[in-house]
Amino acid sequence: MAVDLHTHSCCSDGSLTPSELMELAYEKKLSAIALTDHDTVSGIKEAKKVAEDLSITLIPGIEISSLYDLGNVVKEFHILGLGVDETDVQFLKKLEQYGALRQERNEKMLRLISENVCNIDKDEFYARFDRSVITRAHFAQYLYEKGIVSSVKEAFDRYLGDGKPCYIPKEGVTAKEAITCIREAGGHPVLAHPPQYRLSLTVLDKVIKDLKECGLEGIEVVYSTYTNAQERELRTLAVKNELHMTGGSDYHGTPKPDIQLGTGLGNLYVPDAFANWLLA
């Protein structure tokens, strides 16, 4: 059977509620699913109840946005935390601190959008996404709904993408800090979608070795948008560095309409063996 170890609900930048996501996992006949919202575990409690009712194995998770200094450039890395204890008090305090940094960034982007694109009513904006951890995707969705852009992609291409007029670089938590945070909460840190960081295989291998010393346990080797060559390369790196393999669709629902839960763009398959080490 298949599993999906990378998904999002409306508690971050997905469109489905945690309950709806579990119901969809049941319809898709997934044997296990990880809910990995950005920088929050607020949807886990709701998801757990429905998963139990439907006899679905839920792996509590998170996707922490972090920074990694390569010397000549600082890259944003996403670290999945699979199997975290979503009730751990110290963990929740750390996430609250990360949330404060994100909020500062969001306020800066709001000002830039109001100055350069269109005026945004802050109260209306935050009310529109009241359950969510706000990301750039929410700004893009808002601009689309207001008719400023013709698609979410256009919002990123013109205003919100790296180096664009309304982009604000992230500050704060490092990849190593994110890994430590996840492990202290009983979770397993996994490097999400490495090809998105646009590193050579040589540099990526060095990064993985460095992060493993800090407690990295796995690499996301199966993902909706990988080419066959990328998957082979990542599997090789996982074996070489003695790291676990994971995979997931990165399902968001409406914000990424082409990506389906469990099957990605249509040919994704994450074997249930990829979840065994998380459930042992």
Within this chain, do residues 202 and 247 fall inside the same structural domain, yes or no? Answer: yes
Q: Flag whether 243 is in a domain.
A: yes
Domain boundary (133, 160, 187) is at 160
- Show the CA angle centred on residue 133, arms to residues 129 and 138, nearest 5°: 50
Within this chain, do residues 79 and 193 fall inside the same structural domain, yes or no? Answer: yes
Q: What whole-number distance in Å separates Cα of residue 104 and Cα of residue 96?
A: 13
Domain boundary (160, 192, 207) is at 160
Q: What does the pLDDT read at residue 276?
A: 97
Residue 53: φ, ψ to 5°: -60, -35
**In the predicted structure, residue 134 carries a pLDDT above the cut 90:** no
Within this chain, do residues 79 and 189 fall inside the same structural domain, yes or no? Answer: yes
Within this chain, do residues 66 and 126 fall inside the same structural domain, yes or no? Answer: no
Q: Flag whether 7 is in a domain.
A: yes
In percent, the amount of the chain with pLDDT more than 90 equals 88
Within this chain, do residues 26 and 103 fall inside the same structural domain, yes or no? Answer: no
Q: What is the CATH number for 255?
A: 3.20.20.140
**In the predicted structure, residue 237 carries a pLDDT above the cut 70:** yes
Task: Give the 3-state secondary structure of residue 122.
Answer: helix
Q: What does the pLDDT read at residue 45?
A: 98
Within this chain, do residues 93 and 103 fall inside the same structural domain, yes or no? Answer: no
- Average pLDDT over every residue of 216-228: 99
Within this chain, do residues 231 and 127 fall inside the same structural domain, yes or no? Answer: no
**In the predicted structure, residue 49 carries a pLDDT above the cut 80:** yes
Q: Flag whether 119 is in a domain.
A: yes
pLDDT tens digits, 144-188 = 999 999 999 999 999 999 889 999 988 789 999 999 999 999 999
Q: Flag whether 132 is in a domain.
A: yes
- Average pLDDT over every residue of 51-61: 98
CA distances from 215 to 42, 181, 249 (A): 25, 10, 24
**In the predicted structure, residue 124 carries a pLDDT above the cut 80:** yes
Q: What does the pLDDT read at residue 1?
A: 86
Q: Flag whether 165 is in a domain.
A: no
Structure tokens belonging to residue 68: 């990694």
pLDDT tens digits, 75-103 = 999 999 999 999 999 999 999 999 888 88
Mean pLDDT of the chain: 96
Q: What whole-number distance in Å separates Cα of residue 244 and Cα of residue 49?
A: 28
Q: Flag whether 154 is in a domain.
A: yes
Q: What does the pLDDT read at residue 133?
A: 78
Domain boundary (142, 160, 178) is at 160
Within this chain, do residues 138 and 263 fall inside the same structural domain, yes or no? Answer: no
pTM of the model: 0.89
**In the predicted structure, residue 132 carries a pLDDT above the cut 80:** no
Within this chain, do residues 82 and 13 fall inside the same structural domain, yes or no? Answer: yes
Q: Flag whether 145 is in a domain.
A: yes
Residue-number span of the structural domain to which 250 is assigned: 3-97+170-279
**In the predicted structure, residue 280 carries a pLDDT above the cut 90:** no
Q: What does the pLDDT read at residue 131?
A: 67
Within this chain, do residues 53 and 109 fall inside the same structural domain, yes or no? Answer: no
Q: Flag whether 179 is in a domain.
A: yes
Within this chain, do residues 266 and 199 fall inside the same structural domain, yes or no? Answer: yes
Radius of gyration of the chain (CA): 18
Q: How many domains does the chain have?
A: 2
User: Which residue is listed with tokens 């796995």?
Assistant: 218
In percent, the amount of the chain with pLDDT more than 70 equals 100
- Average pLDDT over every residue of 104-117: 94
Within this chain, do residues 141 and 179 fall inside the same structural domain, yes or no? Answer: no
Tell me the pLDDT band of 135, cut-offs 50, 70 and 90: confident
